[in-house]
Amino acid sequence: MRRWIALAFVFALGLAALVTAEKRKADAHVGPDAVLYFVADTQHELTRLPVAYTRISDKDEIEIGDRLADRYRFLTHIDDKDTDNRDLQEYVSRVGAKVAAHAHRKLPYKFHYIPRSGFVNAFALPGGHVYIGRGVMELMDTEDELASVLGHELEHIDHYHCAERVQLEARARKLRIGALAVLAAIPIEVFQAGYSKQQELEADREGTRLAVVASYSPLGAIRLFEALELKHREVEEASKSPQDEVGRLVISTIEGYFRSHPSSSDRIAQIRRMIADEHWEGLNQETKFELGHIFWTARADQELGLHKFEHAASLARRSLEVKPDQPNALLILAHSEFGLADFASAAIVFRRYLDFRPLDTSAAQAYADALYAARDHAGADKFKQWIAVRQETPDPLLEADTAGLLLIAGDSAPAKALAEKAARIGAPWAPDALARLGWWYYRKAQYEEATRLLALAVEQRPGNPVYQVQLGWALVDQQRYSSAIHSFEQSGASRIGLAVAKWRGKDADAALNHFTSGTSFEPQWLNPKWVQAQYSPMVARSIAEMKSEQEKRELARKARERDRGAP
C-alpha cells in the first residue's frame, strides 16, 4: 500500500512539473549570459521533482557525456610539438586518477586539460569527464590545489549534479532522455555555469574529502580559493583600463566564475570548519607542484614584459629551483637582473643561457652589454673565450661586440678596422655592425665618432627605431638638442630621450611630461645605478634633476590641495 501511495505522489509531482514547464515558456536571446540566467532561474525547479525517482541510468549518462566530450574536443587540442602542454595533460590525468579512485560512483572518469591561459575555470560533464583550464592551474603553487579542484568537479558527477543538469535541459527542451543525439548539442555554458550554492558547497566539502583520502592536504582548497579571490580583485582593477583580447577573455571568464559560485570567504570558512571537525589540523604537509615551473616561467615572462623586474626575477629563480637549466627561465632571469642593475649576476646568467642557445645573437649582445655595465675589466677576454667555445662561423655582430669591449679596455684598432670594413662593403650585416660600433663609441664618450657611425646606420636602414634612439643619445651629448629631438621623434620609441633633450633645451614642462610617462612604463630609469652604468654623466644628471623637480612639483600640488580644503 505504501509503495502505491509513494508512486501516486511521485506521479502527481511529475505531472505538476510538466504543467509548470508548459506554462513557463521563456523568450530569451541565445548566448552565455542567457544560459547562466536560465540555469539560475530554473535550478530550484529541479529540486521540486524528486530526481532520485527519475534519475537517468549510468549507461545513458556516460553516453551523453561521451558525445558532449566529442563535441568539445576543440577545447583540448594540443599541437604535437607542444611538449609542455602535453606534459600538463598527462599530469592532470595522473592526479585526477589518484583522486577519482576514491569516488563513490565507479565511472570511466577522464580528465582533460584546456591549454588556454584565458580559461580560468573548471567544469565536469555527465558520466565522468572533468575539464580544467590552464588559467586556473597558473594560479596554483601546490599539487594539493590541483587535487582539490579535480575533487570538486568529480563530486559534481559523483552527486549527480551534472546528470540533473542534463535532466533540466531535457525538460526545458521537451526532449526524451533517450534522444542522445539532440542532448549532445547542449551548449558548453550549461556545464560551465555554477550550480546552486548548496551544491557548490557540497562539492567543496566532498571534493576536499576525496583529496584528503587521496593523501593531499585540505589546505590546497583554501590556497586555491584565496588565489581565485586575489585574481578576481586583480581582474576588477584591470577591467577599469583598456584590455587586449586575451585580457578581456580572462575578465569575462573570472567574472562569470564568481557570478556563479559562492563567495570565497564562505568556501574557505566551510573548509576551515571541516579541518577542525575532522581533526585534519596535522595534514599540513603539502605536495610540490610537479610541473609548476612551466607556469612560473610563463608568469615571469609576463612580469618582465611589464618591467616588473623583481617579481620576474623571483618567479624565474623559483622555477629554476624546481627545474634547473631551463633556457627560457635563464634568459628571463638574466634580463630581469639587468633591469635591476645587478649587472654582474646578469652576465653570469646570460653566459649560462648561451651554453644552451649559442646561436642566439641577441642574447650574446646582451651578455656583452652586461659585461660592460658591470665594469668587468676582463670582459673582453671573457667574451672572446665564449666566442672561441661557440665554434661557429664568425658573426660580424659579435665581432663588433668584441671590438667594442676592446675599445672600452683601450684597444681601438679592432673597432676602427671593422667600422671601415662595414662602411666600405655594404654587406647586409653592415648597418647593424655600424650601429653597434657607434653605441660602443658612445660608451667610450667619443660622441662625434658615435654620431658618425650611427648616422651611417640610419642612412642605410632609416626605419630602424633602435638606431634612431641611439643616434639621439649621441646628439644629446653634443648639445645638438633639436637634432636629437628629431631623431627621438622619428624613432617613436624613446620618451626618456625626448625628456632629456627637452630638459637640456630648457623646455621643462614638456620634458617632465615625457619623463613622467616614460618612467611609468620603464621604471629602471629611476634607478641611478642602472642609468649611470649605461649613459653619460650628463644624462644621469638630467634624470636626477627631473626626478627632483617632479617630486618638488608634486609636493607643491598636494600643498595647494590642502590649502583649498582648509576651513
Q: What is the pTM assigned to this prediction?
A: 0.79
Mean pLDDT of the chain: 85
- Give residue 196's pLDDT: 85
132: helix, strand or coil: strand
C-alpha cell at 351: 653566459
305 falls in which pLDDT band (50, 70, 90)?
very high
Average pLDDT for residues 503-524, to the nearest whole number? 95
- Give residue 12's pLDDT: 44
| pLDDT tens figures, 148-195 | 999 999 999 999 998 888 887 777 766 665 556 556 667 777 787 778
Can you spell out the DSSP letters for 451-500?
HHHHHHHHHHSTT-HHHHHHHHHHHHTTT-HHHHHHHHHHHT--HHHHHH
| pLDDT tens figures, 3-60 | 444 444 433 444 344 344 444 333 333 333 333 333 444 444 444 444 444 678 899 8
Distance of CA 86 to the CA centre of its chain: 19
Domains of the chain: 2-277 (no CATH), 291-386 (1.25.40.10)
Opening angle at CA 207, ends 203 and 212, nearest 5: 155
Q: Which helix (H) or strand (E) holds 122?
A: strand 122-124
Long-range residue pairs from 278-287, CB within 8 A, at least 24 positions apart, any chain = 278/209, 278/212, 280/212, 280/218, 283/212, 283/217, 283/218, 283/219, 284/217, 284/219, 285/217, 286/142, 286/143, 286/144, 286/217, 286/219, 286/220, 287/142, 287/143, 287/144, 287/147, 287/216, 287/217
Instruction: Note whether 59 and 105 are within 8 A (CB).
Output: no
Give the span between the Cα atoms of 404 and 438, in whole angstroms. Answer: 9
- Give residue 262's pLDDT: 77
| pLDDT tens figures, 64-82 | 899 889 988 999 999 989 9
pLDDT for residue 288 is more than 90:
yes
372 falls in which pLDDT band (50, 70, 90)?
very high
C-alpha cell at 532: 649611470
446 falls in which pLDDT band (50, 70, 90)?
very high
Angle between helices 508-521 and 495-504 (to 10 degrees): 160
- Give residue 174's pLDDT: 63
